[in-house]
Structure 1
Amino acid sequence: MFYDSWAHAASLGLTVTYGPLSRQDHDAEYLHDDKLVILRRGLTTREERCTLAHEIVHAEREDTPMPYGPAHDKRERLVNRIAANRLICDVDLMAAVAASDDPGQWCLELFVTAEVLETYLTSNYQRASA
């Protein structure tokens, strides 16, 4: 099952645009009061898909900016896990693993970034084996 982050954003009434960000080290921003996601120009289509999925979780949670620190980091880890679970389906992952032993190839097959794959595997498989 392919998760379409663009369709999901539209269904939530979010406006997605490209433009300058308040922090140059970020790939996107979510502005809750405006229901607006701003993506950094120059992302690949795969990066856009994953970044938008992440920002959608912030929108659904009605997150607003908060200072950096432990609470911010905890929120980002949660948002990353939720987004990764939307972007990756176990059936598709198992098919990718069966076809190749290269995690880079899995990312291509799943149309996700390495960071999303790592988050998914860490949150779903390390926890299960612990």
Structure 2
Amino acid sequence: MSKTLLLPSAHAGLNYDPVAVLEELGITIVRTWLRDTWGAWSREHRSVVIATGLSTVQERCVLAHELEHALAEDEGCGNQLTALRQERRADREAARKLIAISDLAEVAQWATDLFTAAAELRVTERLLEVRLNDLRGEGWPWRRPGGSRIAG
């Protein structure tokens, strides 16, 4: 059984709070300047390092992504293929938790573009694209033909 099913704060969609889940798991959040990334999971230190200067939405998405690495107990990736798979899985699982289908369906009734929908759902455009691609051709508006070109 997934660890998140045991956590009372593990709601999906707009109410999903990755900070609360990280705290319940005893995982420390460290905010610092980062050069090449927005966040990282350290299994050794049981902490998530996140870049300072991110917007609230960016931080929420990064923390959800890094939380998925923690839940999967991912280690540092020496193999590029393994790293790519872990990044894609973390994005997909974070997007599923951040964007409930009910919230997506409600926003799809009025939002005219991806940017507006992402803002309303409090996620980055990229994570919204990940979620739409995960739903594979369900006819959602704003889904770009061919899906996202960003891996990881």
The answer, yes or no, to whether TM exceeds 0.5 is yes
Task: Give the corresponding residue for 2:143.
Answer: none
Cα deviation 1:92-112 (Å, max 9, x = unaligned): 111111122211111111000
Aligned-pair identity in percent equals 32
Match of 1:4 among 17, 28, 32: 17
Using the alignment, how far apart are the partners of 2:67 and 2:111 within structure 1? 31
Match of 1:43 among 54, 68, 75: 54
Question: Offset at 1:68?
Answer: 5.2
Match of 1:93 among 72, 79, 104: 104
Question: Offset at 1:20?
Answer: 3.7
AA in 2 matched with 1:5: P
4+ residue stretches of structure 1 with deviation over 6 A? none
Using the alignment, how far apart are the partners of 1:3 and 1:62 within structure 2? 20
Using the alignment, how far apart are the partners of 1:68 and 1:42 within structure 2? 30
Q: How does 1:102-117 map to 2 (within 5 A)?
A: 102-117=113-128
Find the residue that maps to 2:136 and give its secondary structure: helix
- Which runs of 5 or more residues in structure 1 are unaligned? none
CA RMSD of aligned residues (A): 1.5
Using the alignment, how far apart are the partners of 1:68 and 1:93 within structure 2? 35
Cα deviation 1:65-85 (Å, max 9, x = unaligned): 112522211111111101100
- Which runs of 5 or more residues in structure 2 are unaligned? 1-12, 140-152
Identify, as 1 or 2, the structure richer in helix. 1
Task: Confirm or deny: 8 A CA contact 2:69 2:86 kept in the other structure.
Answer: no
TM-score (norm 2): 0.78
